[in-house]
Amino acid sequence: MLKAYFEDVEVLSQLLEKQLRLVLSRTLNTVRKEPTVIVTALRIIEREEKADSFALQVCLIILILCEV
């Protein structure tokens, strides 16, 4: 009964593992063949994370000021 209850979770877990392996395999191949592509992507991600962090801080400041 318990095994049947979690059967969908097992299927989902297997699908997730398959997808992760595919993404990691492709990423590793790109690192080997064109490392500049990965470096560029990581720089973009880092820049966007900084922008998101700044925007969040601005929003929090605005919320704090509106409460006063």
Q: 3-state class of 7 per DSSP? A: helix
Residue 50 lies in a domain: yes
**What are the tens digits of pLDDT across the range 9-60?**
999 999 999 999 999 999 999 999 999 999 999 999 999 999 999 999 999 9
Total domain count for the chain?
1
User: Given this model, what pLDDT does residue 31 score?
Assistant: 94
Amino acid identity of residue 64, one-letter, is: I
- b/e map 1-31, b = 16+ CB within 10 Å: eeeeeeeeeeeeeeeeeeeeeeeeeeeeeee
- How many angstroms separate the CA atoms of 3 and 40, rounded? 45
The model carries a pTM of 0.62
pLDDT at 4: 86
Where in the sequence is the domain holding 56, given as residue range(s)?
27-68
Assigned domain for 10 exists: no
Nearest to 16 by CA among 8, 26, 5: 8
